[in-house]
Structure 1
Amino acid sequence: MRNQASRAIFDYWVNLKQDGAAPLKTEIDPAALRHLLPHLFMAAMDPAGTVAFRLAGTRICDLFDREFRGKAFADLWLQTDYRQPVEIAHNVIHSQQPALLDVLASNGHIRHAYEMLLLPIRSVETAASDRIFGALLPRLSPYPVAATPVAFLTLENWTFLTGSGSHFGVPVTGDHRSFSDRPDRLPAGRPPS
């Protein structure tokens, strides 16, 4: 993780996950992450398997110049590049394993490096993960305001995070296996708009 804020969010999630299960959404205290709230989002999977935003921070909405609440996670991505990010989101939820995505935010001409953190959480009424607590943060510097709005994201690289230790500076190991090598691979299709 290049952005220390991403690491702080990951550490916060790891500390909530002390018993090994995905944390409950009610355990997330907005006050603990108040300075990062504009970069955070929550998404949930509906019975049809569509991952959609429940909440999206103001920096995310301002970056794209649109509201994401109720919109499909697939809508963030270039139309020809949504399948793998959606499949990653499905796997984060079903395997309860966090992921870090290196993405490029683009207006069609200018591309800028961001990282997206996807952390599994669960609602009170389920024992298994059914939601994602996520963040979208610039890797090094924010997208130039003069070039906004961003039209879409493209996936550059990704990894499942397998590190369980908290604290800044502790290496986070990754699982770069392709989905076809993973037994928990799920099919992903673009949800209807």
Structure 2
Amino acid sequence: MSILETYLEGVFIIEPKVYGDHRGWFMETYNESSFREESLNINFLQDNHSFSAVKGTLRGLHYQKNPKAQTKLVRCTKGAIYDVAVDIRKGSKTYGSWYGIELSAENKKQILIPKGFAHGFLTLTDNVEVQYKVDEFYSPEDDRSILWNDPEIGVDWPTNIEPILSDKDINAPKIKDADINFKYGDY
């Protein structure tokens, strides 16, 4: 398993080793020892699985505020997505910056998004399944979002089609108006 740093402090790309032969393949999607070797001490508590039927479905940018913030380990197990992490830690030198990567069933890459970041993804194919581990339980009262196309953030979503959005995501505030209580250095 390779654990690669990105330009956003705390966001990592995970590339599992895939072992295959004429029967198919096998991989470890998470290994606590490998993570601890990289000083990533995360106690995952919940696994989530989402399905999006139509290409162009956009989910995000979502986060849970403190004290119920979540670290996420995200992978796409069917189809392909463009996955995005946005730094929302006030005082961070990369506050408002984003990182994006294609995750797919084919490339088997994963992204680790720590507390203090918003997360979203855009489906690049029909019939997409995304699975992710979190280290805090879902808390509806702490669930927040930021507008997916906030010009202050400027995510370059890889499509020229109008995304399919939930009411929550259509009505999300811009980062300057969002209920954010993260400070750089909290974690």
TM-score (norm 2): 0.31
Greater relative contact order, per chain length (Cα 8 Å cut-off, separation 6+):
2
Is the strand fraction higher in 1 or 2? 2
Is the helix fraction higher in 1 or 2? 1
TM-score (norm 1): 0.30
